[in-house]
Amino acid sequence: MKRKIGVAALIGLVAAGALAATASAQCISPTLIKFDNDTFAYETNYNNATYMSAVGSQLTVVGIITCFGPPLDFLNANMPAKQYTVWLTGLTSTGTVAVVGPPNTWNTTYSTGSAQFFIFEDSSTPAPTAATLPPNPPNATVPSTFTDGTIILSGTIDYFHTLITQGSTGHWSGSFNALYTATGGTQYPKVGGAQANLNGLWCSLGTGVSQCSLPAGYSAHPSGKFDQPSSTPARPSTWGRMKMLYR
């Protein structure tokens, strides 16, 4: 797979909290859990040619965890004997709203009434990477190899929104913003149940500048992070707000 990241995507990368993979097994606070190059999204009714998600389309996100931050920094995501994976499920599209620009934008909010996330620890069948990802999920490998093992953290997704933008110069960028609340898993007592942010990049599929490529059947190539819960209430952000932080 060839992934192309331009200036706009790099700005989003910084705003999402330094999502690039590092050699360290530990994330930098306030990141609790990070996932990036080997994370994949697919939907039941999504058009890659028009970037439109139909009302009622079911979004699934699966990926391999890159690192953990406090209070889970004792977990080593780079251990050969174990693999940590993430699964987001139960996200129902309310339909994409497209706005003709420039810039052209595609906004999609997903209903989260039954949306959940799960973090797994597994020592059996490895989940595929971007280089070995099979097409047309769900299949014999996706999502099953991302959803086996011990659940170390799980909970609800309380808000989920994606934004894809094509700028006036033809560059593409994308982001997702969400809120989560942990409710269970073996490591739940260390994390607690306060609401926190879940956000990052949402790379649309195509051949444009800063777009991504994946096998048939996938809708986006996300990368992101779960922030550490705190006593300060979390609130959803926007692509524009994140960019303003770094001007």
Hey, what amino acid is at 160? F
Q: Is residue 109 one of the residues assigned to a domain?
A: yes
Which of 23-32, 67-76, 217-226 is the least confident region?
23-32
Q: Is residue 2 one of the residues assigned to a domain?
A: no
The rounded distance, in Å, linking the Cα atoms of 174 and 166 is: 9
Q: Is residue 173 one of the residues assigned to a domain?
A: yes
Is the separation of the CB atoms in 166 and 99 below 8 Å? no
In the predicted model, is pLDDT for residue 221 greater than 50? Answer: yes
The rounded distance, in Å, linking the Cα atoms of 239 and 165 is: 10
Confidence of residue 124 (pLDDT cuts 50, 70, 90): confident
pLDDT at 237: 57
Number of domains in the chain: 1
Confidence of residue 5 (pLDDT cuts 50, 70, 90): very low
Q: Which two tokens stand for residue 98?
A: 């497209």
Q: Is residue 148 one of the residues assigned to a domain?
A: yes
Average pLDDT over residues 114-143: 96
In the predicted model, is pLDDT for residue 13 greater than 90? Answer: no
- Summarised one tens digit per residue, pLDDT across range 71-80 is 999 999 998 8
Is the separation of the CB atoms in 203 and 3 below 8 Å? yes
Q: Are strands 52-53 and 58-68 parallel, antiparallel or unpaired?
A: unpaired
Instruction: Tell me which residue range forms the domain holding 90.
Output: 7-244
Q: Is residue 68 one of the residues assigned to a domain?
A: yes
Q: DSSP letter string over 185-225?
A: STTHHHH-S-EEEEEEEEEEBSSSTT-B---TT--EEEEEE
The rounded distance, in Å, linking the Cα atoms of 28 and 38 is: 19
- pTM for this structure? 0.84
